[in-house]
Structure 1
Amino acid sequence: MLDPLVKLYRALGKPEINNNYFSAEVIYNSQIRETIANFRQNHTSLGRFEEISVDGKDVTEVEIPDHRSRINVAVKVVTGSSSKFYPTISELISKNPCINNGSCPQEFYLIDNDYYTNDKTIAPCMTSLNKFCCFVKHLSHLAQYHDNKDSTNKGINLVFIHPDDSGVQNTAVLNIKATANIVEKCLNLDLTLLNELCNNNQPTGMHHQEKINIFSSTIIDFIDNKGTKLNELISNWGVFLDSYNKNVQTYMSGFAFHKAKREVAEAEIAISDQISKVLSDITTRVLSIPLSFAAIAALIKTNGFWEGYFIVIGIFFASLIISQLIANQQKQFTRVCKSNKLIMSSFDGRRETYPKDLKDHIDSLEKDFERHQSRVRRTLLTFRALSWAPIIFALIALKFMIDSQP
């Protein structure tokens, strides 16, 4: 832990450090005395005192006396630990290649910013560095391949791959090499999109994989068309997001269009099936009308009144039953028409967003259905009228038979 060394350094007024060595002369007080004593006793792994003098008297090896005016301290910092002091953010970045992979050192102290990783207040430079590391991690997660064979000197290469419409694999390589200038530009970087695409808690969201593919396609176009490097990608991140959002909108419009076409086709099939079912259900019943005419032929050949009378009664009930069955089909057909109208009205609110060919198809479909419904309505009405024809002819035949008898 660097905390004791940072406290000592700050207590001594943050003097200049040269070759891991710093010295300072400060006004003596109890807090300075306790800080030095605690460091000397418990934290020799972080550094050692080259000199401690109080009012000109060397007390390096003895206990620091109380009630003095000034104290002079010289400290040699131990550099073997992974937790270190860094003069600048540039030094921190250059000495830690892990930043190229999106991993920031866990503990360090930046001298020029007077920032320690355990401070409650985060320095702007650290906000930028944390965003840069998050940015790189997310890009690495979305990239199809990583090349980090020489990450220390050249950084890492992220390879994005996406097939085009012809099946050819399009690729682009983005080199990740952190510099202070690049990190500084990440202060106001919007990571919302990357956070959403890399959210492992909801990987099955609607169109989630498609959006990842669109991201790869967009970044390939962005890098290839402009020869974009990491510095330019971060500088033009807003432009990239605009391109991505336009590509997503294009995809969603195409998806909605194909979905609408499928819905229209399904509605067309459903409506046709319902109308056909109404006609097929009545077909077998209508075929009984010619049988009633056959009974009229038997009526003409009969000689007795009562025999003819009962034949007429039978034809009457046959006509009545057929008429009621057709009436039921007429009611069923009315319900089908209302249902079909409701189905077609569901497209009205979205019709203006559809392409012209789909709108024209819906208009044509509505006109066809109206003509078809009118034709079926007339057919059912004709069938119902024909269902009463046998009894009318039977009554005429019965009257003729009665009149012809002596």
Structure 2
Amino acid sequence: MADVLEFVRAYRLLGRPVLTTRNSFHFKASAHSAELAEAVLGLVESKAGRIDELLIDGEEIRPQATTLSKAWSKIELCYTLDTSGDVPVFKNIDQLMARSKSYVRQSLPPHFYLLDDDLLSSEEPIDPQVKSLQGICRLIVCLADLAHFHDEKESSDEYKLVFVADDSTKGERAVTLYPFLDKSLLACEVGVALVGSLQGSNLDLNPHLLKERAIFRASLIEHLAGCLDGRERFRFLVATWSRFIELYENNLSTYLSGFSFHKIKQEIAVAQITIADQMSKVVGDISGKILSVPVSLVAMVAIAKADSVLESTILVAGLTITSALLAETLAAQKLQYDRIKHSRRMMFSAHCSSSHQYPSDLRKCLEETVYSLSDNEKKLKRSLLVLRAICWVPAIAATALHSFIYQAALIQGAQKLIKLILLPPC
């Protein structure tokens, strides 16, 4: 785009001569100056057009071979601008719009010049119309990347962009846009930061880009549902761009909320399985050990058939030790139960405090999970208490049976022990 900048510099040095036709101007000077000589050479080098006629001191000079004399006294030239579009120099904004077919397929060049307004697009401050035009052209390029189909034929009079809804459950729905440039559109303010972030080239930077692009298309179809003509759809989209962005952000927020709630539901399910698994392990450990209670009761038969007090006493002591060990094991299981209960409260406390923000189905799922786990905890706690009491049954029963069978011997032994204690020393 150096050709545009070179042309603008030269054109301004010539005093910005007015176009005498649609795309040509004449220039005359009757005094030599280094600036004028530099400007003429700049016109040749810029390639923004061609010098049709160049007279120096009344003699016609070929511009291709010109080496301007430093001592000329009069110069006259006729310059015709290139209308092919290779160098974006235009009479005014209207002429740019008239040649805008290529600009609906690509971004505007970084530099273009409007002669009547002496307006270079890259100069600060940027003209509001130029800024709006750049935004609309960039928008069209970005929409082409988001569209499912677009017309690739450069010679086509209409540039077609087709957007199809990805949600097949609602039936096949599509809209077609025919982007165009029109001076009336320049009054609209279009921000392209959002649509620019949805370009396919950003896929590596955003893992959710494909879904966001799908939401954008669905939002576009929803927003343009009331328009039938492709050109009017595009005009309506540009005129209501801020409303469309709001619709897209609401749809995206709804999707993200649904995704977040689904993730929370998965977390609740995993937590429920984890807590239930830990309680199941506690029950499994108890089940294996509590079987020793009925086995211990069988020893009652051995006590009844014991041949002596000593043999019976040893059996009672063994049952008592067994009951004590089982009671300590159950106490350890009670501590494990307390840890599981504390973990369950920690895992669900955050969800319970935020449950008022959840949808009704998720809130109901959370309530049912907490209730069922709490109910299981209560049953497990009761089971531990009952089993700790039951584990002492063999020891108590054995002691009672031993006392009943050997009552006389025990009384006699007790009397001897008392006398021994109370007997004064010799």
CA contact (8 A) 1:215 1:244 kept: yes
Amino acid corresponding to residue 268 of structure 2 in structure 1:
V
2:131 aligned partner:
127
Alignment correspondent of 1:15 = 17
Q: Which amino acid aligns with 1:217?
A: A
What whole-Å deviation, never above 9, does each CA across 1:307-336 have from its counterpart, x for those lacking one? 112111211221111111111101100101
Partner of 1:220: 221
Q: Which amino acid aligns with 1:177?
A: F
Identify if the C-alpha distance between structure 1 residues 121 and 356 changes in structure 2 by more than 3 Å, giving closer, same or farther: closer
Match of 1:403 among 391, 394, 407: 407
Matching residue of 2:201: 200
Q: Which secondary structure state, in structure 2, belongs to the residue aligned with residue 38 of structure 1?
A: helix
Deviations 1:193-232 (A, max 9, x none): 1122116245463532221111110111122233452111
The aligned residue for residue 65 of structure 1 is 71
**Root mean square deviation, CA, Å:** 3.0
Q: Which residue of 1 aligns with 2:386?
A: 382
Would you say 1:157 and 2:160 are equivalent positions? Answer: yes
Structure 1 residue 350: Cα displacement: 1.9
Is contact 2:27–2:78 with CA below 8 Å preserved after alignment? Answer: no
Contact 1:84–1:108 (CA<8 Å) still a contact in 2? yes
Q: Secondary structure at the match of 1:163?
A: coil
Distance 1:110 1:174, change over 3 A: same
Match of 1:47?
50
> Which of residues 286, 291, 297 in structure 2 aligns to 1:287?
291
1:305-316 paired onto structure 2 within 5 Å: 305-316=309-320
Residue deviations 1:20-50 (CA, integer Å, cap 9, x gap): 4322455846343432563588679943263
Question: Residue 330 of structure 1 aligns with which residue?
Answer: 334
d(CA) in 1 for partners of 2:227, 2:45: 57
Relative to structure 1, is the Cα distance of residues 317 and 266 closer, same or farther in structure 2, using a 3 angstrom cutoff? same
**Equivalent residues of 1:97, 1:152 under 8 A apart:** no
1:169 Cα offset (Å): 2.3
CA contact (8 A) 1:214 1:247 kept: yes
Q: Within 1, Cα distance between the matches of 2:338 and 2:312?
A: 39
What is the Cα deviation at residue 72 of structure 1? 5.7
Give the letter for the 2:174 counterpart: T
Partner of 2:262: 258
Aligned residue identity for 2:227: K
Aligned residues of 1:147 and 1:158 also touching (Cα < 8 A): yes
| Residue 250 to residue 151, structure 1, CA distance change in 2 (3 Å) | farther
SS in 1 for 2:82: coil
Partner of 1:6: 8
Runs of 5+ consecutive residues of structure 2 not aligned to the other structure: 62-67, 413-426
Structure 1 residues not aligned, in runs of 5+: none
| Pairing 1:272–2:276 present | yes
Q: Quickly say closer, same or farther: Cα 1:27–1:388, change in 2 above 3 A.
A: farther
Equivalent residues of 2:304, 2:401 under 8 A apart = yes
User: Does the 8 Å contact 1:83/1:107 carry over to 2?
Assistant: no
Aligned mate of 1:369, from 351, 358, 373: 373
Query: Relative to structure 1, is the Cα distance of residues 157 and 30 closer, same or farther in structure 2, using a 3 angstrom cutoff?
Result: same
Give, in whole Å, the separation in 2 of the partners of 1:343 and 1:230: 51
Rounded to whole Å, the distance in 2 between the matches of 1:392 and 1:284 is 22
- 1:249/1:316 CA distance change after superposition, 3 Å: same
2:133 and 2:376 mapped to 1: Cα distance? 70
Q: Distance in 2 between matches of 1:362 and 1:108?
A: 62
Query: Counterparts of 1:227-246 in structure 2 under 5 Å?
Result: 227=228, 229-246=233-250
Instruction: Identify which of 144, 156, 179 aligns with 2:182.
Output: 179
Structure 2 length normalisation: TM-score?
0.83
Alignment check: 8 A CA contact 1:102 1:132 kept: no
Q: How many residues align?
A: 397
Q: Please give the alpha-carbon distance, in whole angstroms, between the structure 1 residues aligned to 2:346 and 2:208.
A: 30
| Cα distance in 2 between the residues matched to 1:252 and 1:259 | 10
Check conservation: 1:233, 1:240, Cα contact below 8 A: yes
Contact 2:13/2:36, CA 8 A, preserved across alignment: no
Asked if the contact 1:160–1:171 (Cα under 8 Å) also holds between the matched residues in 2, the reply is yes
Match of 1:137 in 2: 141
Task: Note if contact 1:12-1:25 (Cα within 8 Å) is conserved in structure 2.
Answer: no
Q: Taking structure 1 as reference, are residues 387 and 180 closer, same or farther at Cα in structure 2, changes over 3 Å only?
A: same
- Equivalent residue of 1:169, what SS? coil
Query: Residue 316 and residue 4 in structure 1: after superposition, are their counterparts in 2 closer, same or farther (change >3 A)?
Result: closer
Q: Given residue 10 of structure 1, which amino acid in structure 2 is its aligned partner? A: R
- Asked whether the 8 Å contact 2:11–2:43 carries over to 1, the reply is no
